Amino acid sequence: MEVTRKNFKKALPLVNESIGKADFLAIDAEFTGLMNGRDVSLFDSPSEYYNRLYNGASEFLPIQYGICAFYWNEEKKHYMNDAYNFYLFPRRPGPEKIFMCQSSSLDFLASQGFDFNKLIKEGISYMTEANESRLRDILTERQKNYSVEKDLISIPEQHKQQISDICKRVRKFLDDKDAECMEIDRCNNFVRRLLFQELAQFKSEAFVETKILENQNRVLKVTRLKEGDDITSKDNEKKEKEWEEVEDAVGFSKVVRMISQSGKLVIGHNMLLDVLHTLNHFFQPLPEDYPSFKEFAHCMFPRLLDTKYMSSLPPFKDKINSSVLQHLFITLSEEPFSLPKADSVNDRGYSSTDDKHHEAGYDAYVTGLCFLGMYLHLSRMRGEDSARLRDPTSPVLKPFMNKLFLAKTAHQDSPYMNLTGADPTPSRDHVFHLTFPLEWQRNDINQLFSPFGPVTVQFLDDVSAIVALTRREQARDVARALSKNSKVSLVSFTKYKHKTTSGKVQQVRRQMSPLKHVPTPEVKPRQAPTTATATSSLPPPTSPVVAARPRSNSVSAPSPTATTRKRTSSGVFQVDEAEPPQKKTEIVRSNSDGARAKPDIVRNGRKSLDADADNDKQRQNEKKKETEITVTETFGNEAKSKTVTAFKESDSWD
**Same domain, residue pair 261 and 395:** yes
* Residue 106: HSE in the Cβ half-sphere, 13 Å Cα cutoff: 10
321 plus 445 within the same structural domain: no
To the nearest whole number, what is the mean pLDDT of the chain? 78
Helix (H, G, I), strand (E, B) or coil at 279: helix
pLDDT score of 30 = 95
pTM over 0.75, yes/no: no
Q: What CATH number is attached to the domain comprising 479?
A: 3.30.70.330
Domain housing 183: 150-245
Residues 405 and 264 in one domain: yes
pLDDT of residue 42: 81
Whether 318 maps to a domain, the answer reads yes
State whether 561 and 604 are in the same domain: yes
Query: How many whole angstroms separate alpha carbon 333 and alpha carbon 202?
Result: 72
Highest-scoring range by mean pLDDT, 49-58, 154-163, 283-292: 283-292
Predicted confidence band of residue 149 (pLDDT cuts 50, 70, 90): low
Strand partners for 31: 62
Residues 121-142 pLDDT 10s? 999 999 999 999 989 988 888 8
Q: Check residue 549 and give its pLDDT.
A: 37
pLDDT for residue 182 is more than 80: yes
For residue 207, give Cα distances in angstroms to 168, 181, 229, 231, 238. 16, 9, 10, 7, 10
Give residue 615's pLDDT.
55
Task: Tell whether the model's pLDDT for residue 541 goes beyond 50.
Answer: no
DSSP β-bridge partners for residue 306: 268
Question: pLDDT for 565-595, tens place per residue?
Answer: 343 433 443 434 444 444 444 444 444 344 4
CB 3 within 8 A of CB 14: no
Least confident of 107-116, 508-517, 526-535: 526-535
What CATH number is given to the structural domain containing 202? Answer: 3.30.1370.50
Q: Which residue has the higher pLDDT, 507 or 24?
A: 24
Check whether 276 has a pLDDT greater than 90: yes
- Among candidate residues 194, 226, 245, the one where a domain is terminated: 245
**Cα 62 from Cα 125, distance rounded (Å):** 11
> For the residues 631-643, what does the mean pLDDT come to?
40
- Rounded CA gap, 573 and 536, in Å? 31
Least confident of 106-115, 212-221, 288-297, 504-513: 504-513
Q: What is the pLDDT of residue 188?
A: 84
Same domain, yes or no, for 490 and 519? no
pLDDT at 203: 78
Distance CA 13, CA 1 (A): 13
R_g of the chain computed on alpha carbons: 36
- Do 237 and 292 share a domain, yes or no? no
| Rounded percentage of the chain residues whose pLDDT exceeds 90 | 35
Residue 140 lies in a domain: no
User: What secondary structure letter does DSSP report for 288?
Assistant: S
Note whether residue 136 is domain-resident: no
The number of distinct structural domains making up the chain is: 4
Is it the case that residue 605 has pLDDT exceeding 70?
A: no
Q: Is 209 found in the same domain as 261?
A: no
Sheet holding 464-469, edge to edge: 455-461, 464-469, 431-435, 489-492
**Amino acid at position 15, single letter:** V
Q: Where is mean pLDDT largest: 54-58, 300-304, 477-481, 502-506?
A: 300-304
- As a whole number, mean pLDDT of residues 306-327 equals 91
Sorting pLDDT into bands at 50, 70 and 90, what band is 600? very low
Cα–Cα distance for residue pair 499/167, rounded to 1 Å:
74
Per-residue pLDDT, 216: 72
| Same-domain check for residues 47 and 173 | no
Q: How confident is the model at residue 159 (pLDDT cuts 50, 70, 90)?
A: confident
pLDDT above 50 for 158:
yes
Residues 280 and 165 in one domain: no
Check residue 540 and give its pLDDT.
46
Q: 220 - beta bridge partners? A: 184, 210
pLDDT in tens, 336-376: 898 998 988 887 888 877 878 889 999 999 999 999 999 99
Per-residue pLDDT band at 199 (split at 50, 70, 90): confident
For residue 138, being part of any structural domain is answered with: no
User: Rounded to an integer, what distance in angstroms lies between the CA atom of residue 284 and that of residue 236?
Assistant: 32
What does the pLDDT read at residue 439?
Answer: 93
**Euclidean distance between CA atoms 147 and 150, whole angstroms:** 9
- The residue out of 245, 261, 292 marking a domain boundary is 245
Residues 444 and 534 grouped into a single domain: no
Q: What is the pLDDT of residue 378?
A: 92
User: 20-24, 225-229, 649-653: lowest mean pLDDT where?
Assistant: 649-653
Out of 229-233, 280-284, 338-342, 620-624, give the one with best mean pLDDT. 280-284
Q: What is the pLDDT of residue 45?
A: 86
Does residue 143 lie in a domain region?
no
Q: Give DSSP secondary structure letters for 347-414.
A: TSS--TT---TT-HHHHHHHHHHHHHHHHHHHHHHTT----S---TT-TTTGGGBTEEE-TTTGGGT-
More confident residue, 646 or 344: 344
Residues 296-305 have a mean pLDDT of 96
Distance from CA of residue 151 to its chain's centroid? 47
Q: Which pLDDT belongs to residue 148? A: 56
Distance CA 632, CA 640 (A): 8
Q: Which of 301, 250, 252 is nearest to 275 (CA)?
A: 301
Confidence of residue 228 (pLDDT cuts 50, 70, 90): low
Does residue 288 sit within a domain?
yes
Cβ(23)–Cβ(389) below 8 Å: yes
Residues 123 and 272 in one domain: yes
Residue 135 forms part of a structural domain: no
Same domain? 477 vs 572: no
N- to C-terminal Cα separation, the chain: 59
- Higher pLDDT among residues 507 and 265, named by residue: 265
Mean pLDDT score, 311-340: 90
pLDDT score recorded for residue 317 = 87
Give, to the nearest 10 degrees, the angle between helix 584-593 and helix 527-536: 110
Comparing 605 with 280, the larger pLDDT belongs to 280
Domain boundary pick from 479, 502, 525:
502
CA–CA dist 395, 302 (Å, integer) = 16
Question: Could you tell me the pLDDT band of residue 463, with boundaries at 50, 70 and 90?
Answer: very high
Confidence at residue 617, expressed as pLDDT on a 0 to 100 scale: 54
In this structure, is residue 508 part of a structural domain? no
List residues bridging with 469 in a β-sheet: 455
Task: Pick the more confident residue, 4 or 572.
Answer: 4
The residue that leads in pLDDT, 631 or 102, is: 102
pLDDT score, position 578: 42
Give the model's confidence band at 447: pLDDT under 50 very low, under 70 low, under 90 confident, else very high.
very high
